[in-house]
Structure 1
């Protein structure tokens, strides 16, 4: 068995958000950390635009940053989003609040800013060294060695890595190397939709040209446009479309068809995106994938975390939050175990079911965002849900609230959401206004269905880590 030795160097593959935060946690525990990153240093070189969806950071991610003393600064660079601002093809805008009141909100934050901030703080511990343009090519788990191509110099070399943390994203080389071993499996499911980033520039003096404190959605059934606010007054827009079909990236193949499509489907967005044609045809088309695999570790030698272990589509805004929660859970296990294999085994046991749950919820939320948010019935049910959250605090719980505003394990949030959704659907039947909901009946249904479930799983409602 591989004992945990604080004098031993730990190797981290990938200096993205999760790898950089993980390095901070490990440095705090006294480890020396060697980080290898395929890309150039984004603090010194411009990274291609259009390759990342804006991030929504919520309770789980903020808690992780709090553990390493970085939450306060991150909040200063984040913009609260209190709900979804729905843009119909014609008609008035409608705000659908995320929580019971304005205190419950998610936050828009720049992926690039946060990644740079985490890398710099990791290096400032004096225990973390990040080496860039290092492309991982092979892992020999038995020998504890890695083969890298140094893309700056062109040489291939080996590095010793007795303990390896794979945080190298959804296309993880560490995971691919694991699946070559007996007993390992990995399934990657590509979403039939892709995405393209567009930009709404800031107004005069850095002003916001739409409501600042909202996540804007133009839901159109099989496709949608969203926009998240940035610190400089601009919005990053993301167009989600099928790859193929009558309305798809394949069909929007000329400036004329693109402009006509936007004028018909997103008329209020057209004057806000002056570089629409340039952005659409210049920026890459991104893909989205769900990754489920097992196990996530090779004995006590290597472990997958973040997207490398459980990539999810971005429609619940939980990819980074889930990855950051991985770091918190791993850190707590390091305080309880003396052997790496025990840490890795328990980590997989704790996180696998939760990662699968949020992966499924993210796909379901995609359908909700692009289709249901435009439905009057959906809007009524959301209003009923808000009434119940305020009328029965601590008793009525919604899936969105538990996922975004608490650290309750995802698997329980999923199950509670199913029960709560059933209650809301029954109570909304035949209603014209949410204020007319039968609170006596609501109290009975909550007592009969939700309360027993929460009491039965009371231990599980304590956050992981």
Structure 2
């Protein structure tokens, strides 16, 4: 008996990877995307924060069998390079010497995955804008080339992002919970080009951060020797996008708060006023399935980008769904319900962690107490790896469920508060009784 026809909304990173998993299982997979084919057009338009590919995402790509050319689209970053207001820099390693996250171009990775999906047997229909999803009859209605068109299938999966059309159809059904929460901050992309001789202008093996309390700038390296920078700034207020309404104000602002960027961003003013300002949203909803339709990735759990886990969580969705299909197919109701019940606590956890990490990145990373704590945590982890693992390591360099990482991180933070009460910050980490500290965890 032929396997079902599966319609996937969204040919972004998650939709493309999912189509690979499903096509390799023998399903007939059709993927629909409102944008043109990214392999033929520049469709991102200054709205794509560079992405950090880490262990969870890499495991999903490995399980899908699509890792052979990844080194061509990513660069390892072994830690944070903190740029202080006086232009001094210092390096904070992410973990052990061999641990790194990978800076990857969203566009190049997306093109690569689409090609791999087509090779696996999936078909793509670009420039198809979904106008309506009929979840009762598994029919999608599109506008393409100015004309309406309908496609039917057996299963519909919405990987169409934070503003999902499929999720919008769920809103008109009974017992569907939905919440969206916007940060008061937005973001704008800027670019540090390669140097005159085609070299990197700043260290390519780090994620660069300019932490300034209520706002920050970050930069991630690209394989063409440029850096993608992202300015995170409040929409309104004294230091805000609203306030920076003239070339003179932008130039003054950067010279005062990011002075070491001026020599490496030669066309700063043009970029600032040309590139769009975008918003940052967290989305929670439940259930993720209705009838024979399912939401995943940002469509079901969009998060802010400050833990570098949005793509990784979406890729992990694909891997876990694939494993549940192996166990429960052909009962799609069981597949979907098992997936959403097991996954929801973990996506809620990473949403909280991502919001918390914004405060850490824009403020705490430059704080002496924070640096002292990170050195102490690294020392405890080195001596008692089975007892203590830094939260960042659990989230980024393992496949531990996010909810368990959050729970363990909270326990360790309570111990850290006790340590700070007992030991003054002037105490060298090597002078602290680690055995007693580990005992506090029990």
TM-score (normalised: structure 2) = 0.97
Tell me the secondary structure at the aligned position of residue 418 of structure 2.
helix
- Given the alignment of the two structures, is residue 149 of structure 1 paired with residue 108 of structure 2, yes or no? no
- Partner Cα separation in structure 1 for residue 43 and residue 197 of structure 2: 26
Query: Which among 191, 201, 212 is matched to residue 209 of structure 1?
Result: 201
RMSD (Å) for aligned C-alpha atoms: 1.2
User: 1:74-97, CA deviations, whole angstroms, 9 ceiling, x for partnerless residues?
Assistant: 134321111111101015311111
Q: Which moved more, 1:79-88 or 1:53-62?
A: 79-88
Shift of 1:197: 0.4
Kindly report which structure 2 residues correspond to 1:309-328, keeping only aligned pairs within 5 A, or say none: 309-328=300-319
Q: Distance in 1 between matches of 2:258 and 2:408?
A: 35
Which secondary structure state, in structure 2, belongs to the residue aligned with residue 322 of structure 1? helix
User: Match of 1:33, SS?
Assistant: strand
For residues 300-315 of structure 1, what are the structure 2 equivalents within 5 Å? 301-315=292-306
Residues 155-200 of structure 1 show CA distances to partners (whole Å, capped at 9, x for unaligned) of 1122112200000000001001111101112111111100000011
Match of 1:23 in 2: 19
* Partner of residue 75, structure 2: 79
Q: Determine if contact 1:381/1:425 at 8 Å carries over to the other structure.
A: no
Deviates further, 204-213 or 241-250: 204-213
Superposition pairs of residues 329-408 of structure 1, within 5 angstroms: 329-337=320-328, 338-408=330-400
Q: What's the secondary structure of 1:395's corresponding residue?
A: coil
Q: CA deviation at 1:399?
A: 1.3
**Aligned 8 A contact 2:130 2:140 in 1:** yes
- Measured at CA, do residues 328 and 6 of structure 1 come closer, stay the same or move farther in structure 2, by a change above 3 Å? farther
1:124 aligns with 2:115: no
Worse overlay, 70-79 or 408-417: 70-79
**What is aligned with 2:38?**
42
CA distance, structure 1, for counterparts of residue 205 and residue 251 of structure 2: 28
Summarize deviations over 1:87-126 as a string: whole Å, max 9, x none. Answer: 0101531111111x2212111011101000000110112x
Structure 1 ranges of 4+ moved more than 6 A: none
Q: Which of 220, 223, 228 is the aligned partner of 2:220?
A: 228
Residues 211, 217 of structure 2: 8 Å contact kept: yes
1:252 to 244, 253, 262: 244
Residue 6 (structure 1) shift? 4.8
Distance in 2 (CA, whole Å) between partners of 1:239 and 1:179 is 33
CA contact (8 A) 1:178 1:184 kept: yes
SS in structure 2 of the partner of residue 335 of structure 1: helix
Q: How far apart are 1:48 and its partner, in Å?
A: 4.2
Question: Which of 46, 56, 63 is residue 60 of structure 1 equivalent to?
Answer: 56
Q: For residue 455 of structure 1, what is the aligned residue in structure 2?
A: none
Partner of 1:296: 288
Deviation per residue, 1:334-381 (Å, 9 max, x gap): 111121000000000011110000001000000110011111111111
Deviation at 1:436, TM superposition (A): 2.1
Rounded Cα–Cα distance in structure 1 between residues aligned with 2:311 and 2:246? 35
SS at match of 1:268: helix
Alignment match of 1:115 (pick from 101, 110, 133): 110
CA contact (8 A) 1:85 1:96 kept: yes
Question: Partners in 2 of 1:139 and 1:199 — Cα distance?
Answer: 38
Range moving further from structure 2, 207-216 or 312-321: 207-216
Alignment correspondent of 1:140: 134
1:176 is the counterpart of 2:168: yes
> Do the aligned partners of residues 61 and 45 (structure 1) sit closer, same or farther apart at CA in structure 2, a change above 3 Å counting?
same
* Counterpart position of 1:461: none
Number of equivalences: 438
Do the aligned partners of 1:81 and 1:105 also contact (CA within 8 Å) in 2?
A: yes
Q: Structure 2, unaligned stretches of length 5 or more?
A: none
Q: Secondary structure at the match of 2:263?
A: helix
State yes or no: 1:104 paired with 2:124.
no
The answer to whether the Cα contact below 8 Å between 2:369 and 2:425 also exists between their aligned partners in 1 is: no
Alignment match of 1:417 (pick from 386, 409, 412): 409
Distance 1:251 1:6 in 2: 60
Structure 1 residue aligned with 2:230:
238
Q: Residue 6 and residue 109 in structure 1: after superposition, are their counterparts in 2 closer, same or farther (change >3 A)?
A: farther
- In structure 1, stretches of 5+ residues that fail to align are 449-465
On the 8 A contact 1:427/1:437 being kept in 2, the answer is no
SS in 2 for 1:112: helix
| Counterparts of 2:170 and 2:44, CA distance in 1 | 30
Q: 1:144 to 1:77 in 2, by over 3 A?
A: closer
Find the partner of 2:436 among 422, 441, 449: 441
Kept in 2, the 8 Å contact 1:398–1:416? The answer is: no
Distance in 2 (CA, whole Å) between partners of 1:69 and 1:164 is 24
Contact 2:378 2:390 in 1 (8 A): no
1:431 is aligned to 2:422: no
| DSSP-derived class of the 1:64 partner | helix
Q: Which residue of 2 is the match for residue 70 of structure 1?
A: 66
Show the counterpart of 1:218.
Answer: 210
